[in-house]
Amino acid sequence: MSECTHNCSSCKANCSTKSKQDFLEPLNAKSNIKHVIGIVSGKGGVGKSMVTSTLATLMQRAGYKVGILDADITGPSIPKAFGIAAGVEGDDDGMIPPESSTGIKIMSVNLLLPDATAPVVWRGPVIAGTVKQFWSGTVWGDLDYLFVDCPPGTGDVPLTVFQSIPLDGIVIVSSPQELVSMIVEKAANMARMMQVDVVGLVENMSYVKCPDCDKKIKIFGESHIEDIARKHGYPLLAQMPIDPSLATLVDAGEIEKMDVNYLDGAVEALKRVRNVK
């Protein structure tokens, strides 16, 4: 290893004297973002992108300027939910993110690929580099909230997101299966190690409401989310059912037309998040 120059900003060594600040990527010069919120999950398919899309929609509806950075590079589903397929334009300042019908700015690898169905078969460092580019190379302009749809799990790429982007807080999304408690704990431990605040937990797919008698059917069994929330001292922000109307809106690219209030608790918690940068 070469001799230490004490200039951590340009040094690639993973040295114990580096502080959290030394890993942060610079934000694009033409961007001013008040709050950056990561949406994370321990594994794929629990509805992380669904929660990201609905929270962004609700915050935009509440009058905030909102953007979504789709950091789930190998499973990008944000543009589809908002019905956006347009390519990304650029100028000397960087990439200009397309806007949804209500004005949410969105950056996703699917907006850069010539064909949205093309698989992203890239190695970890390239994926991580793309996430950093979305942060520092996108002209986000003025935003009140940028939601980062993080890649699932606690591997290399989620770690890069935690290290390179100054998250003000994270929302952990899970589903009500026994196994999930362990997975939530992994995500919570990672947040603690990376010194990122946990805004709270959202349990998705908690139940289905019978269309005939309104009874709540717990498809995945009894939930343990309240115990997990209590154990870690995190607020339980919402328990969201499997709602076919939401799935239909996502498939039609019309998530902004949703008319349900499952995540109102999460919206209120987000309004209270303080800027830590």
Say how far residue 136 (Cα) sits from the centre of its chain: 17
Q: Should residue 22 be labelled a site residue for ligand ADP when binding is judged by CB under 6 A?
A: no
Residues 44, 152, 124, CA angle at the centre, nearest 5°? 120
Determine the interface stretch with ligand ADP among 3-11, 43-51, 114-122, 134-142 (rule: CB under 6 A).
43-51
Q: How far apart are CA 70 and CA 135, in angstroms?
A: 10
Q: Should residue 242 be labelled a site residue for ligand ADP when binding is judged by CB under 6 A?
A: yes
- Single residue of 33, 50, 188, 225 touching ligand ADP by CB under 6 A: 50
Least distance in angstroms from the C-beta of 197 to ligand ADP: 21
Nearer to ligand ADP, 77 or 133 (CB): 77
- Single residue of 240, 263, 266, 270 touching ligand ADP by CB under 6 A: 240
DSSP 110: G
Lay out the sheet containing 198-203: strands in order across: 105-107, 66-70, 141-149, 31-41, 169-174, 198-203, 236-239
Determine the interface stretch with ligand ADP among 23-31, 39-47, 220-228, 269-277 (rule: CB under 6 A).
39-47
- Single residue of 22, 24, 34, 44 touching ligand ADP by CB under 6 A: 44
Q: Should residue 172 be labelled a site residue for ligand ADP when binding is judged by CB under 6 A?
A: no
Least distance in angstroms from the C-beta of 242 to ligand ADP: 4
Question: DSSP of 206-275, one letter per residue?
Answer: --EE-TTT-PEE-TT-S--HHHHHHHHT--EEEEPPP-HHHHHHHHTT-GGG----TTHHHHHHHHTPPP
Say how far residue 40 (Cα) sits from the centre of its chain: 6
Q: Should residue 235 be labelled a site residue for ligand ADP when binding is judged by CB under 6 A?
A: no
Binding site for ligand ADP (CB under 6 A): 41, 44-50, 75, 77, 204-205, 240, 242-243, 246-247, 250
